[in-house]
Amino acid sequence: MLRIIPDTTLRRLRSTPSYFFLIWRWSMWLYALVVILGSGPTYSPIYHTCVLLLVVTLLQTVVVTFYAPVFQPLLARLRLLSILRIRPRIASASQSALEDEVELFTPLLRTRSRYRDIAIYALDVIICGLVTYYSGPFSGHPNFGNGSPFYRYGMSTAFAAALAYRYPGGIAAAIGYDLFILLGILVPAPGPAYTPNVIDIAGSLIDTPVAALLAAFIVSLLGSYAQSKKREQENGRWQRALLSVGETIVHAGSDKERLLQKGAEQIRQGGHFDRVIIALVGVHDDERAESAGHEIENCVEADRADSPLPDRSKITLEQVMRSGQKLSAFERLPVAGQSGYGLARLYLPFLDGHARMILGAESCRQQPFDSKQETFLTIAGAQLSIALDNMRLAEQTLQLAASAERSRIAREIHDGIAQLVYMLSLQAETCVAQSQRIAEAAEEDAELIAPLTGRLAKLVTLSKQALWETRNYMFSLKPLMSGATTLEQMLATQAREFEAISGLPVRLEVEDNAQPPGEDRRGATRQARTGAAIFRIVQEALTNAYKHAAATEVQIHLRYQPGGIEVTIRDNGRGLPPDQRGRQEDQRIYSGHGLRGMRERAEEHGGSFELGQAPAGGVQIRVWMPT
């Protein structure tokens, strides 16, 4: 049971006034008990009245103790709250709400109504005053005030008001208590007669106001010290949390999911929040920092196990994402028995960099989040945003390094293997021409030279095919759609290269004009990716036509549509086998697994892929890609 008593310095300070009040009231009641029962019935004519007042004050003290905030944890542990029909101090607020409060515990339980609280303290003053008034003639010297065995017990009502409302409450309660002392002077209670004197009157009237002022002064000092202690603890806790976030950033490396999850939990613990949400918004390499049209790509939440908060984070994230402005709100929780508790929310957008993020925090508190929580979230969010940017830059660095290496390999192939294969092709063609001239000049040797001419012709075909494959690998390694290069230019260059290597004429037709992306970098990035995919599909289709179709002409028709790009590649070759015509699901016809790669590339970008027989014979491939 002792473990439930607050043990931290701040919580002990907050509980001190309530403990002081309870200790004083119970001690003074025991003092009155000893005085009255120890005096006996023969000591005072109002002995039996004072015994009755002992019972009344005992009941009052027990009720006050049961309703004291610091005593409720023990009642909860003993399961007496429901038996005594005492509503808990916090019906659904989490432990973090208690830990974040700075206000000192009041001697009596606060209700949801301010006027009801004042009425409770006023009733306590009235009960204590009446008890002191009727027990004043107990000793007869004096017949009021400090002549009562309950005089010091009654002073605790001024302590209670002073501890709850500081100077105004203490003075008001002391004046109310002194009015009953004056009533005992002016209208003496039943008992032996007594002639008042200045010393007794001054002593009875001054003690309570002075004690109330002293109690108010001490509780003010405790409040200031508790506030300072709380700021010190918060600063230490926030520094540890920020240090933990920094260590997580260092150790998380490139694991974005782990960084967000651990970072959210550390921010929640460091800020004593009930819930922390981190959402990544539209993280794209070449996008502008605009909130319009963005989508939440990843969302991580860290919740306290006993969090009573409703889940409204998705709605709030959408609101902050659309507005691009921070959101700070406080809503009262509609739970009976709450004493001013509500849902405090603070969402901060970090939308200025490439790695855009929204960091939100929610807690059950008695007041909204202030600038301290906002500063803490801003620092922690900036750390995470920088870490995400660093991850993005590291990924870009790897991509650039890979692209540079591919470009270097492509140059090496172009300057080395491609040139050698090209020279081999020229030499083979020269040999074919030379053998043909020899055969024409010496008809008797024509039959002997014919097999050599045939083999040299096959060597020419193989060398051209090897040159095409080499160029094909070169184009696969080189970056596409860079700078001001358009899709039409890339396809035209590709067609010229194909004609030069294969000898097959390629006719490129372009219908309508491409829509410029304007200043929308997201559209430019999407259009470049779509163009690169179309280029690769056309490249594979030309390779298939050269290797397998036995075609004499290839046509490429490029058409720009409002919502996408359509490209059709058709040849006049031998076409699809009769048993394979119309079978879209067969991926092995025409070029092994090449069609599967074309189909997957189109579907990966949200497009469609169709394979069929061309109207004039041959094979027709139609691809549509959204822009």
| CATH number of the domain that residue 567 is part of | 3.30.565.10
* C-beta separation of 346 from 320 below 8 A: no
Q: Distance between CA atoms of 525 and 333, rounded to whole angstroms?
A: 46
- How many C-beta atoms lie closer than 10 Å to residue 47's C-beta? 16
Same domain, 23 and 171: yes
Q: Which of these, 242, 218, 202, lies nearest to 384 by C-alpha position?
A: 242
* Whole-angstrom distance, CA of residue 524 vs CA of residue 152: 84
Tokens of 540: 């594979």
pLDDT at position 91:
39
Length in residues, the chain:
627
Percentage helix, strand, coil for the chain under 3-state DSSP, each rounded to 5: 60, 10, 25
> Does 93 reside within a domain?
no
| Within-domain flag for 403 | no
Secondary structure of residue 500 in the 3-state scheme: helix
Spatial distance between the Cα atoms of 307 and 309, rounded to a whole number of angstroms: 6
Query: Which pLDDT belongs to residue 208?
Result: 93
Is 214 among the domain residues?
A: yes
What is the model's pLDDT at position 253? Answer: 66
Question: Which residue among 374, 389, 404 closes a domain?
Answer: 389
Query: For residue 283, what are its two tokens?
Result: 């993280």
The C-alpha atoms of residue 553 and residue 252 are separated, in whole angstroms, by: 56
- Residue 605 and residue 514 share a domain: yes
Place of tokens 């032996």: 192
Give how far Cα 604 sits from Cα of 348, 529, 596, 610, 621, Å. 34, 11, 12, 15, 17
Question: Are 361 and 259 in the same domain?
Answer: yes
Residue 192 to residues 49, 144, 438, 461, Cα–Cα distance (Å):
14, 11, 157, 137
Statement to judge: residues 270 and 224 lie in one domain: no
Its pTM surpasses 0.75: no
- Using the 8-state DSSP alphabet, how is residue 108 labeled? S
Flag whether 431 is in a domain: no
Give the distance, in angstroms, between the CA of residue 623 and the centroid of all CA atoms in the same chain: 41
Q: Round to whole Å and give the CA distance between 468 and 486.
A: 23
Give pLDDT < 50 ranges for the chain. Answer: 1-7, 81, 83-94, 283-292, 335-338, 584-592
The pair of structure tokens assigned to 404 is 């540079």
So what's the pLDDT on residue 84?
A: 45
pLDDT at 585: 42
Same domain, 575 and 490: yes
Quickly tell me which residue has 């997957």 as its tokens: 600
Domain presence at residue 436: no
Domain identity same for 217 and 275: no
Q: Check whether residue 211 and residue 283 sit in a common domain.
A: no
Within 188-259, strands assigned E span none
Kindly state whether residues 65 and 186 are assigned to the same domain. Answer: yes
User: What six digits make up the tokens of 270?
Assistant: 């460091």
pLDDT value at residue 567: 93
The answer to whether residue 96 sits within a structural domain is no
- Assigned domain for 591 exists: yes
Tokens in use for 102? 């700075």
pLDDT of residue 284: 47
End residue of a domain, out of 356, 389, 422: 389
458 neighbors 448 (Cβ within 8 angstroms): no
Q: Are residues 274 and 340 in the same domain?
A: yes
Q: Are 121 and 156 in contact (CB under 8 A)?
A: no
Residue 94: inside a domain = no
* End position of a domain, from candidates 333, 367, 389: 389
Q: Is the separation of the CB atoms in 164 and 216 below 8 Å?
A: no
- The token pair at 474 is 């070169």
Contact 104, 70 (CB under 8 A): no
pLDDT at site 350 = 87
Does 69 share its domain with 214?
yes
Torsional class of 140: left (φ above 0), alpha (ψ -120 to 50), beta (otherwise) = left
Report the greatest alpha carbon distance in the chain: 165
- State whether 168 and 208 are in the same domain: yes
What is the total count of domains within the chain?
A: 3
Residue 579's pLDDT is 58
- Domain containing 313 equals 254-389
Q: How far apart are CA 189 and CA 197, in angstroms?
A: 17
Please tell me the predicted confidence (pLDDT) of residue 171.
Answer: 95
Whether residues 36 and 154 fall in one domain: yes
